[in-house]
Chains A and B, each alone.
Chain A
Amino acid sequence: MDITECVGEIEHGEGGIGGQARTRRSRNWSTVTMGDLRREVSTTSVMALYTVMYPVFDQLEKVNLSAAQTLRAAFVKAEEENPGVTEGFVLKLLEKKNQKINYNECLLRMAAADVKEFRIERQEPGFQELNERAHALKHILSTIPDEINDRVGFLQTIKDIASAIKELLDIVNTIFRRYQYQYRHALEQQKKDFVKYSKSFSDALKTFFKDGKVLNVFVSANRLTHQTNMILEAFKTAT
C-alpha cells in the first residue's frame, strides 16, 4: 500500500459511516446544533451566528424571552437554508452604522467568549477538562490581534497556542481511550479536522512572517476557533 492508495482508501471510507453522518438531519429547534453547518458553510459566516448573534439573543431573553427564542430559531434556520446570511446581516448592519472595523479581527477578539450551546455538561473525568482546555485555546487565540505586532510577544503567544493545542488533543485522545463510542469514526473525523486546521494555522503564520499581512492569520485563527467549538459540539452530542 503506497501513499496514493492510502489517500484513496481514506476518501472511499468517507462514504461509509462518515459519509452518512454528513447528511442533513431533522433539527430539534429547541436544542440548537451546528452539525451540518460546520462543513456546509464558510467558517466566519457560521461564527457570525454563534459568536455575534447568540450573545445578543441571550441579552434579549432578559427583555422578551419569547421574541428572543423566536429570533434565534429564525436565524438558525435562515443560516442553514442560506449559508452566509447571518454574516451578511452583521456586515450590513456595521455598514449602516458606519463602523469601519476589521470584521475578522473583531470575530477573533470575541472568540474567547463561551458559547453555552457547546459547553459539555457531563461531569465525568475528562469532559470538564475538555471544556477548560477548549476555552483556554480560544482565549489565547483571541489575544492574537493584540500581540501580532510585537514579535517577541507574538512568539510567546504562538508557544502558548502550541501548548494549548497539544493539551486539547491530549484530552481528546484520553477520552477516546477511556470511553467507548458507537460513533467513534465521526468523533475521530472531527479530531482530524481540528488537526488539519491547526496545520493551516501554522502555515498562515509562516506566510505572515514572510509577508507581514495579518488578515490571513486572523482568518485562520477564526477557523481554528470554530473547529475547537465543533470538537465540543461533537462530544456533547455524542454523549
Chain B
Amino acid sequence: MEEDVKKVKKPGIVSPFKRVFLKGEKGRDKKAQEKSAERRALHTVSLSQPDHRIDPDILLNDYIEKEVKYLGQLTSVPGYLNPSSRTEVLQFIDNARKSHQLAGQLTSEQDAVVSLSAYNVKLVWRDGEDIILRVPIHDIAAVSYIRDDSLHLVVIKTAQESGGSPCPSSCPELNKSQTLSSLSESGAVLVEVCCLLVLAVDNKAAAEELCLLLSQVFQIVYTESTIDFLDRAIFDGATTPTRHLSLYSDDSSSKVDMKESFEGETSPFPFRASMEADSSSPSASGPASPQAKAASEGELSTTAAELLQDYMTTLRTKLSSQEIQQFAALLHEYRNGSSIHEFCINLRQLYGDSRKFLLLGLRPFIPEKDNQHFENFLETIGVKDGRGIITDSFGRYRRAASSASDPTANGSSAAAGVEGGDGAASDEGPEEVGEASEGDEWDRMISDISNDIEALGCSMDGEGATP
C-alpha cells in the first residue's frame, strides 16, 4: 500500500488519466483485499486423498463449505437434458449468457459459498451471507463438471420448484400468458422441466472435489433411505395383525377350522402331544372350553402387548419428545370423541412426509367403526399401496400390498376345499364364541394402550429423542 503511494509520488509527469485509472484499480484491489481480510473462514475439513473421502458423520450431523462463484440458475430447462452431454449443457449455458440470464465475466461479485450436508445444498453470498437458494438433496438429479477453456463449471440439475408447469418442447421458456389447455390445443408436447444451477470453481481439482462430495452425499442419503425402507417393510409385516383385532365379528365363512388328524405318539409335531394332554379331543366343532378361551384371551393380551411394545419403541426412535407429547394429545382427543378424520389429518401433519409410514403401526389400535375410514385415508396419502415409499425394481412392494388386501375372497374357496374332509361346519368354531369377550378385552386394551402412550409422552419431558 505504501509502496503504491510512493510510486505515484515519483517525480516527473504522470498522466492524469493514468493517475485516475491506477487509483481506481488500486482502489478496487484495496477493496478486494479488505474484503478477503473481512471474510470469515469456511467451515471445512481436510479430505482424504485421492477420492476426497469425508466422514459420513460430518455430512449427517455437520456440514462442509466450499468457495464457488455463482453464475446463476436456469429454470424451465427441458427435463430430458442429458447432464452427461457437454454439448447440450454448454448450449443452454451459452444461450443464457447471451441473454444475460447468467453472468458473463467472473468477478468477486459472484463469490459465494456452497454448504453441503446430507440434507441440502445451500448457496449463500460470500459477503453478507445472504441466502441465494437451498436445494434439498432429493431434488438433485445430476451433477456435471464441464471444463470450458479456463472456466471450470459445476452444473447441478435439479427439480423445478413447485408451481413450475411443464413447458412445450418447442419453447424452453414458459409463456405465462398461455394456459396448459391452450398449449395442448395448439398441439405442443408438454415436457417436464428442471433447473440448472451453474457454479464456477477455480480449477479442476476443486471441481472434482465438489463432485465427489456430492456423490458421497447421494450415497449416504440413498443408503439411509434404503435401510429405512427395509425397516419399514419389516415393521409393516410385523405389526399387521394376524387376526382381526378390531371390534367387529369376522366373516365366519372365511374361517376354516383346520382339524389336524391326530397321529398318536408317532406325530413329529411337538405341540400335538402337549395339547392332547390338556383336552380330550382336538375337535373344534363344539363350544370353546374355558381353557381354550383363556388361552385365546391370553394370546390376545400377549399379541396386543407385543404390538404396543413395538409401536412405542418405534415412536421413541422416530419422534422427538415434543412430538410424542403432541401424539399423546391427539390420541387423547380421539379417545374422547374427536372424529377419526380429524385424528388422521392431525397425525399426518405431525408425522410429515418422511414419517407417514408410522400411521401403519396404528392399524391394530383403530376400532372397527373407524377402520374403513382409516384404511381409505392410508390409501389417499400413499402409504397403504406403497406410493411415496421407494419401490423395488419390480414394483413388488405395490403388488404385495394389493394382493394381501382381500383375504376373504379366497377364504370361501378354502372353506369349500377343506370341509369335505371332516364334514363339520366351521360356523361354530371356538373363535365365534369367544368374540364377545374379545370385544370387551379389546376395549380395555385400547384404553390401556392410549394411557400408556400418553404416559410415554409425559415421560419424554427432558429426554432427548432421536427424530
Contacts and interface: CB of A to CB of B under 8 A. Distances in A.
B404 A173 contact: yes
A204 to B, nearest CB: 11
Most chain A CB neighbours (cut-off 10 Å) among B230, B260, B448: B230
B128 interface: no
A22 B305 CA distance: 22
Interface string B213-242: 000000100110011011111101110111
A33 B284 contact: no
A188 B242 contact: yes
A180 B432 CA distance: 12
Given A13-B302, A33-B268, A169 B308 contact: no
A25 to B, nearest CB: 4
Contacts of A192: 238, 306
A202 B403 CA distance: 25
Nearest to B417: A124
Interface residues of A, number: 70
Most chain A CB neighbours (cut-off 10 Å) among B233, B267, B301, B396: B233
Given A6-B309, A158-B227, A166-B237, A178 B411 contact: yes
Q: Determine chain B's interface SS by DSSP, over half rule.
A: helix
A126 B301 CA distance: 27
Nearest to B429: A180
Contacts of A155: 222-223, 226
Interface string B370-405: 000000000000000000001111101100110110
B400 A163 contact: yes
B346 to A, nearest CB: 25
A3 B271 contact: no
Given A31-B268, A162-B230, A6 B308 contact: yes
Contacts of B231: 199, 202
A224 to B, nearest CB: 11
Contacts of A174: 404, 407
B270 interface: yes
Contacts of A199: 231, 234
Contacts of B392: 156, 159-160, 162-163
Interface magnitude class on chain B: 35 or more
Most chain A CB neighbours (cut-off 10 Å) among B229, B255, B269, B306: B269
B455 A191 contact: no
B305 A9 contact: yes
A28 interface: yes
B244 interface: yes
Nearest to B269: A237
A205 B223 CA distance: 10
A151 interface: yes
B240 A13 contact: no
A98 interface: no
A237 B271 CA distance: 10
B299 interface: yes
Contact of B298 (A13, A36, A126, A171): A13
Nearest to A198: B234
Contact of B418 (A22, A124, A165): A124
A180 B431 contact: yes
B312 A3 contact: yes
Contact of B229 (A17, A20, A151, A159): A159
A182 B305 contact: no
Interface in B286-306: 295, 298-299, 301-303, 305-306
Contact of A173 (B229, B237, B271, B298): B237
Most chain A CB neighbours (cut-off 10 Å) among B236, B270, B303, B308: B270
Contacts of B414: 124-126, 178-179
A206 B411 contact: no
Given A172-B237, A178-B410, A186-B270, 14 more contacts: A6-B305, A6-B309, A7-B309, A22-B270, A28-B266, A125-B413, A126-B410, A160-B396, A162-B392, A169-B237, A183-B272, A185-B295, A195-B234, A199-B234
20 contacts: A6-B305, A6-B306, A20-B271, A125-B410, A155-B223, A158-B226, A159-B230, A160-B393, A164-B396, A165-B233, A166-B397, A169-B240, A170-B401, A178-B410, A178-B411, A179-B255, A179-B256, A182-B282, A186-B270, A192-B238
Give the 5 A-B CB pairs with smallest separation, nearest first: A169-B237, A176-B242, A183-B271, A162-B233, A166-B233
Interface of B: 56, 219, 222-223, 226-227, 229-234, 236-238, 240-244, 254-258, 260, 265-275, 282, 284, 295, 298-299, 301-303, 305-306, 308-309, 312, 390-394, 396-397, 400-401, 403-404, 407, 410-411, 413-414, 417-418, 426, 429-431, 448, 452, 455
